[in-house]
Amino acid sequence: MDDLGSSEEEEDEESGMEEGDDAEDSQGESEEDRAGDRNSEDDGVVMTFSSVKVSEEVEKGRAVKNQIALWDQLLEGRIKLQKALLTTNQLPQPDVFPLFKDKGGPEFSSALKNSHKALKALLRSLVGLQEELLFQYPDTRYLVDGTKPNAGSEEISSEDDELVEEKKQQRRRVPAKRKLEMEDYPSFMAKRFADFTVYRNRTLQKWHDKTKLASGKLGKGFGAFERSILTQIDHILMDKERLLRRTQTKRSVYRVLGKPEPAAQPVPESLPGEPEILPQAPANAHLKDLDEEIFDDDDFYHQLLRELIERKTSSLDPNDQVAMGRQWLAIQKLRSKIHKKVDRKASKGRKLRFHVLSKLLSFMAPIDHTTMNDDARTELYRSLFGQLHPPDEGHGD
């Protein structure tokens, strides 16, 4: 009996231990399930966060690409306008324009009228393009609508931006475009530029601060003593008289119709035994020629071309030979637009073209030490060929 009782107790203990193990296993499985659920939730949050970040980065990349394409188109238009600007600088100026108009007759008046219409249409197109670009961006829309600028933050979420855009499109009321005359454009453009200055300064300061933060130069070393970007711009624009003179300086050689050509300086005669004095043109003489009736920004135009060429050459893939070939042709076309400074007055034989040769060393003309005159030499040559007398005398004998 004792053996039976002890065996029953052992069986009860074993069954209790098995039940405890089963409970522990079920508890461990439930904890693993909960941990797995938490991990899956975390993974979902991470996936959602990363997908949002990726979509934002893609949108930023597209925006940058569109900005670069728009900049290239504007720069291409600027390149096309340069040729018209150079031609305009050569037109007759106000002091001699009435004389050209009287001498030209009806043909000159007709060409002048057509040119005036074309320039007026071009100016209207440029102003229309400016209004369209300003209206598309919410922060500059007030310049076209005539409303007050938004004093709020520029950082707007995408959903709020879409709602604002829909409301703006629904109640879009573009002011009626009145046809401006040529004399109205200066005041109109000056007012728009003054209104645009507020947004321009705010944008420049914002991106300047972001660039300094990204580069890690904010408040380090001498960077803490740097002036703001707006202060630097105001300092450069302080001397407006000097900047105005720079735009009125002829930076290439061309002739303005109706202006007399500068008189050529007389060449001094060289005395016997002295080296010949050759005429020399002063270096960069055209850069000292100021004219208040022209606008010449040739240096800025060439700087834009150089930056465009550098950007296009640096963005090439060395493995894509086809793209490199096309890019090379485009760069050669751009470089051909940077004309060399050529003296156009030297064509058609109006100026003598010459190259200065280096001096000859250890050379001199022969010195004649003979005492025979020309008659004696003639008699000598005749005697050598058997003709002692002239041919007519021999025929008479």
Instruction: Give the pLDDT of residue 157.
Output: 47
* Cα angle for residues 348, 354, 357 (degrees, 5° grid): 170
Average pLDDT over residues 366-377: 82
Contact yes or no for 208/229 (Cβ under 8 A):
yes
Nearest to 86, CA basis, from 242, 245, 256, 336: 256
Within 10 A of 86 (CB to CB), how many other CB atoms are there?
16
What SS3 string covers 304-353? Answer: HHHHHHHHHHHCCCCCCHHHHHHHHHHHHHHHHCCCCCCCHHHCCCCCCC
Q: Which residues face 290 on adjacent strands?
A: 249
Distance of alpha carbon 52 from alpha carbon 6, whole angstroms? 69
* Domain locations in the chain as residue ranges: 12-89, 95-149, 183-236, 297-340
Residue predicted with more confidence, 386 or 208:
208
pLDDT in tens, 265-297: 555 555 565 555 555 545 555 556 788 889 988
What SS3 string covers 186-203? Answer: HHHHHHHHHHHHHHHHHH
pTM score, two decimals?
0.57
Instruction: Give the pLDDT of residue 346.
Output: 72
* Enclosing H/E stretch for 230: helix 229-236
Within 10 A of 381 (CB to CB), how many other CB atoms are there?
9
pLDDT in tens, 301-354: 888 888 887 777 776 556 666 666 777 777 677 666 655 566 677 777 777 777
Instruction: Give the pLDDT of residue 217.
Output: 62
pLDDT in tens, 170-210: 445 555 556 788 888 999 999 999 999 999 999 999 988 88
pLDDT in tens, 60-80: 889 988 988 888 888 888 888
Residue predicted with more confidence, 63 or 162:
63
3-state helix, strand, coil in the chain (%, to 5): 65, 0, 35
Average pLDDT over residues 232-237: 89
Give yes or no for residue 52 having a pLDDT over 90.
Answer: no
Distance of alpha carbon 298 from alpha carbon 289, whole angstroms? 14
Q: Tokens at residue 58, please?
A: 């893609």
Give yes or no for residue 261 having a pLDDT over 80.
Answer: no
Contact yes or no for 267/354 (Cβ under 8 A):
no
Average pLDDT over residues 3-22: 51
pLDDT in tens, 98-156: 898 888 888 989 999 999 999 899 899 989 999 998 998 888 888 888 777 665 545 54
> What is the rounded end-to-end Cα distance, in angstroms, of the chain?
191
Q: Tokens at residue 14, please?
A: 């074993």
